[in-house]
Amino acid sequence: MTLDNIIIIGGGISGVAAALALKQQHRRVSIYELREGPSTIGGALNLTPNALRYLDAWKVLPKLLPRGCSVGSFELFNMIGGTKTAEMSLGNVAKFGYEVMRILRKDLLDALLETLEEQGTSVEYGKAAREIQEIDGGVRAVFQDGTRVDAQLLLGCDGIHSRTRMGFVESDRRPIYTKIAVVLGLVDSASLTSPIHFRDTAFNMSQNGSLIASYFNPDRRQIFLGALMQTEEEKDRDGWRVRGADQDRLREELKERFQDVKIPCLLEMIGNVKELSLYPVHKLTGDGKWSRGSVMLLGDAAHAMPPQGESVGYALEDVALFAELLKNCKDPSQLSQLFKRYEELRRPRIDAALKETEFRWAQGTRDVGWLQFKIQQWVMPWFLWFTQNKKEEDFASDVRKLVG
């Protein structure tokens, strides 16, 4: 029996990327998304050279170049002292084959969707999965509208709040709130009268959280601003929505938290930022199941971690590695061995990323005292220096080469 009937739950970045990768193998793929249309939430993403390598292979890169901004370096600043404390070089096309790009999440998803539609496939929206069932010869997805779809393989690409994971693969593995929330917004560069203190991307640390500031479009007319702040948890999603809708409260909280900043353009950005969005940051434990029966989780559905500049890259790596393994899988009876091999190859990389993320996430996101802040200012430059070679190895890597 030929393996040519695959369904994907989740029409976000990892789901559409998976569809593109499998379409290149001439597989029959259907993709379902619970929302009524493409998601527009989220800020500016960092696409590392290895991420761009896969997007190029899936014929998406040409659509990204007019939308994203090249990032040659990452700079670290002490907002309280007003000084630069470290810098990491990122751009080396000759070495990595690709640059680093910053781009809006919406623009990346739009480019993926456009490429998928050019190949004759589109996402079916408004399809919330109610139940996933094991059946003879594969798996069945039952949707809220009563639709039933049978397949030989189901990929759960439905994010950290994955219905595929919590409803079928591992019911008790649920998102954990990190006690950090992110406030996002965009600033017109021309609205700033103070000199902009960074070249491409800056991580600005204080005792009361941090600010990420980065260009993200080719003409650099706008700057992405993201505040990482220790925040008490709301009772439910409605609570977060209400809090996020209070623009005046969000803006005042930013001004109060960062009132002692000694970098003038950051204060201007806080005052000039356009509509703000609030997102609680969740994560998953690193020891969970990724598969069951004929179902495999990819991306955040399997291993969501706090954002640290490479999260989308990890999801795209998942897709690239899984698709490469699937090339040699001609029969559904081989899926259990494929799943086992995928995890053998993938878990070491994800486990290492989770450990690094936990360390980096602890630096500059929480409210700290004067002494701890001083320690962070000493530790972070050394950490960036220590991890530089590993980052370069990752940038040059291609997970598809792991498949013998």
Check residue 56 and give its pLDDT.
Answer: 97
Beta bridge partners of 227: 183, 211
Distance (Å) of CA 201 to CA 2, 56, 281: 47, 23, 21
3-61 pLDDT tens trace: 889 999 999 999 999 999 999 999 999 999 999 999 877 789 999 999 999 999 999 99
pLDDT averages per 10-residue partition of the chain, 404 residues? 88 97 94 91 89 97 96 92 89 82 96 96 95 94 96 96 96 93 95 96 93 95 94 86 89 92 95 92 92 97 82 94 93 93 96 82 77 85 79 87 89
Q: Are the C-beta atoms of 376 and 294 separated by less than 8 Å?
A: no
338-390 pLDDT tens trace: 999 999 999 999 998 888 887 776 666 788 888 888 888 888 888 877 777 77
Percent of the residues in the chain that have a pLDDT greater than 70, as a whole number:
98
Residue in the structure block whose two tokens are 């900043």: 261
- pTM, rounded to two decimals: 0.94
Cα-Cα-Cα-Cα dihedral of 272, 66, 101, 158, to 10°? 90
What does the DSSP 8-state code read for residue 401? G
Please give the biggest Cα pair distance in the chain.
66
Mean residue pLDDT of the chain comes to 91
Residue 401 CB-density burial (10 A; 0-12 exposed, 13-18 middle, 19+ buried): exposed
Check residue 60 and give its pLDDT.
Answer: 98
